[in-house]
Structure 1
Amino acid sequence: MIEHTRSHQQPRRIGLLTAGGDCQALNPALRALTLGACVTHDWEVYGFKDGYLGLQEGRFKRLTPAHVAGIQGIGGTILGTGRGQSGSVGSIDEAVERCREVYDDLGLSTLICLGGDGTQRFARRLHEQAGLNIITLPKTIDNDIRGTDVTFGFDTATHIAAEAIDRLHTTASSHHRVMLLEVMGRNAGWLAAASALAGGADVALLPEIPYRLDRVVDAVKDDVSRGRSYSIVVIAEGAVSEERAATGAPVRLHSAAMELVEQLPELAAAEVRLTSLGHVMRGGSPTSTDRILASQLGARAIELAEAEVYGVMVSVQGAELKPVPLTEVGGEPRSVPLDHPLITSLRAIGTALGN
């Protein structure tokens, strides 16, 4: 259940932090949050440095409209980000208590946390265990947060991968090679599916669909039989073969790409090259789509703070931005449903999925 609380502290102060991995649209979100709070409501805004680490250690700076002027096109985060606990803090419970002390000492009425699944889980602890008034925004290039249709950062990362595929098409066709492109996404295939569809890949291997090596080999050979002198294979970093999946062992990220670059040259009788985009997918300027989404989510978070609706993440559900209880957000990552339009579209145009 979404909780409503009341506070009459004046002037009102809110805290902001960006935690977990960076992505391209954090700054547009911080800009919208700061402007919405300062300009619309005349609140004071405090940004904590390096995510929850800065909150635990009391490292912050006052944010004003001047601090966020022009940052909507800049990647990364002006606050810095981080993972885990401060070295001076022992257990998670101690970290939660330290965050509560800093929150209270600063006289905050609301803390708005921007981040992925780990950020969402710790935010829930702060709300339930320490009683902080928490609102979160869904940030990750992986697009794997439960409770929302999309996260900011995903569109920009997809654009980067699609552009890489465009470039690989030209060199692959010139050298008559099989080009493997590994993309991020952890154990969810959103990035692999979207970039494969956008870039016109011949094969897309997703964690949700364990692949058979012989089917991948057949797909690469089929490209040749259809008059193509090359093939593009997009591999999610969490992709796994049927053989490995059957063992029940934990998936090792990058294992599929490393195995295929060794196996395909002999089995497909082709030259094979591997490109792994890695953290390139997190860098650079955000697309206009991500800037708009992050700004809208930030503006909506300020509306919820004004209404004193806490313990929620601002989610995208169709054309609406809705508060979702943090109890519905954490847990296992959101996988790509097998009937999702991304997958059905890939199948419809003949993209091989390895099964």
Structure 2
Amino acid sequence: MTAKRIGILTSGGDCAGLNAALRAVVHRAIRNYGWKVFGIRDGSLGLMNRPLNYVEFDLKSVGDDMLRLGGTILGTINKGDPFAYPMPDGSKKDRSQDFVDGYKELGIEALVVIGGDGSMRILNELCRKGGIPMVGIPKTIDNDVAQTDYAIGFATALNVAGEAMDRLAPTAASHHRVMILEVMGRDVGHIALNAGIAGGADVVLIPEIPYTLEGIAKKIAEVRDEGRNHALMVVAEGCKTETGESVTTLQSGGQARYGGIGQYLAARLAETVEAETRVTVLGHVQRGGMPAMRDRIIASAFGVYAVDLIAQGKLGRMVAWQHGQVVDVPITDVAGITRAIDPYGTLAQTARGLGIYIGEM
């Protein structure tokens, strides 16, 4: 297949590096193949709504400033499954055909989807229904997309968490405190474990490994016995309580989101640890801002490779980063699958080797 008109959209939560990927797709498609590229606004909604909501890119619209921009100039959504779309009266409606009809109306011949595991699953189902040729590009600060070592956005989020650790350490020492840093990551601990190792944490708690309050208290006591008057903890937002309960907050629209495990732990540790505790929740700070250089590079490599896959007729694939290079894998091997921390993998063993308490195994 030789496509002349391709579309591109971003779906799911935003992150740094999305615009670099958009830029790479446009440059490769126009410079090397002479194609037209249409950016679809607000994820799947751009094709579901009438009139269609899109923009045609040219090289002037994707200058080098896009490498430095956080977020996505196309906009994105992380709610509103087209197969069960929430209607104003509270009911759910299957609007998947609206998406398929919008694709046909725009007259594009292939679709590049930049998204996480959930977006890959939903968009793959939509494209299968409409017979739409699709290539995926992985992005998520959580770094939990299967079959790829890195997704766009992770490097920037990790840098933010690492900088927070660097800033918390001296104030922890000054006030003899236990500082708890709560980071994002949903149901995986990639940000927490990497930031904990890089930032010199004493305790790192991640969803993949259970822990006990006694284990945390013992580690803090060991730190004190070694002559240090402060301790650093990193906890992933998706960590449960020691009894297995999720800690969430209710957002607008009635949705429950992870958040609050840091405060929960601070309150519980106050009962067993003779030290003041303070909690810092990074939240969406990890998503925004100027992309790290590594995110810009990975995003650019992904964008170029995705266009080449379309040119080669290799569709239903996702680009991935494995062993230092870009490869492609079947989307069916990715969609809806979560890449978690291996409790016995290199990073977990490194943390244990450094004396970091990461739970009970």
Provide TM-score, normalisation by structure 2: 0.91
- Letter of the 1:114 counterpart: I
Change (3 A) 1:284 1:225: same
Residue 319 (str. 1) matches residue 324 (str. 2): yes
Q: 2:177·2:277 contact (CA, 8 Å) conserved in 1?
A: yes
User: Which 4+ residue blocks in structure 1 deviate beyond 4 angstroms?
Assistant: 86-92, 249-252
Shift of 1:30: 0.5
Distance across 2 between alignment mates of 1:201 and 1:350: 9
In the aligned structure 1, how far is the partner of 2:270 from the partner of 2:146?
A: 39
Sequence identity of aligned pairs in percent? 40
Shift of residue 342, structure 1, vs aligned partner: 1.2
Q: How far apart are the structure 1 equivalents of 2:104 and 2:86?
A: 21
Answer yes or no: is the 8 Å Cα contact 1:52–1:84 preserved in 2. Answer: no
Deviation at 1:243, TM superposition (A): 2.4
Structure 1 residues 114-193: aligned runs within 5 Å: 114-193=114-193
Equivalent in the alignment of 1:81: 76
Q: How does 1:249-328 map to 2 (within 5 A)?
A: 252=248, 253-328=258-333
Report if the CA contact (8 A) 1:123-1:136 is conserved.
Answer: no
Describe the shift of the 1:354–1:67 C-alpha distance in structure 2 as closer, same or farther (beyond 3 A).
same
Aligned residue in 2 for 1:3? none
Q: Over aligned residue pairs, what C-alpha RMSD do you find?
A: 1.7
Name structure 1 gaps, 5 residues minimum: 1-5
Give the conservation status (yes or no) of the 8 Å contact 1:126–1:134. Answer: no
CA contact (8 A) 1:96 1:125 kept: no
Alpha-carbon offset, residue 121 of structure 1: 0.7
Q: Where does the alignment leave 5 or more consecutive residues of structure 2 unmatched?
A: 249-257
Distance 1:41 1:194 in 2: 40
- Offset, 1:250: 5.8
Distance 1:341 1:251 in 2: 28
The letter of the residue matching 1:138 is: P
Partners of 2:32 and 2:284 lie apart in 1 by 36
SS of 1:309 mapped into structure 2: coil
Map 1:194-213 onto structure 2 (within 5 A): 194-213=194-213
* Per-residue CA distance 1:236-263 (angstroms, 9 max, x = gap): 001124422xxxx667533532321111
SS at match of 1:178: strand
What is the DSSP-based 3-state SS (H/G/I as helix, E as strand, rest coil) of the residue aligned with 1:37?
helix
Partner of 1:39: 31
Q: Write the deviation string for residues 211-248 of structure 1: whole angstroms up to 9, x where unpaired.
A: 1110001111211111111000000001124422xxxx
Distance 1:184 1:334, change over 3 A: same
Aligned residue for 2:341? 336
1:21-40 equivalences in 2 (<5 Å): 21-40=13-32
Measure the CA separation in 2 of the matches of 1:190 and 1:151.
Answer: 11
The offset of 1:87, in angstroms, is: 6.0
* Structure 2 CA distance for aligned equivalents of residues 266 and 122 of structure 1: 45
**Residues 331-350 of structure 1: per-residue CA shift (max 9 Å, x gap):** 24211011221111111111
CA contact (8 A) 2:28 2:307 kept: yes
The answer to whether the 8 Å contact 1:182/1:234 transfers is yes
Q: Which residue of 2 aligns with 1:63?
A: 57
TM-score (norm 1): 0.92
Aligned residues: 342
- Give, as a single letter, the amino acid of the residue that structure 1 aligns with 2:16: Q
Q: CA deviation at 1:303?
A: 0.4
Which deviations, in whole Å up to 9, do the C-alpha atoms of 1:297-323 show, x marking residues without a partner? 000001001112111111112123222
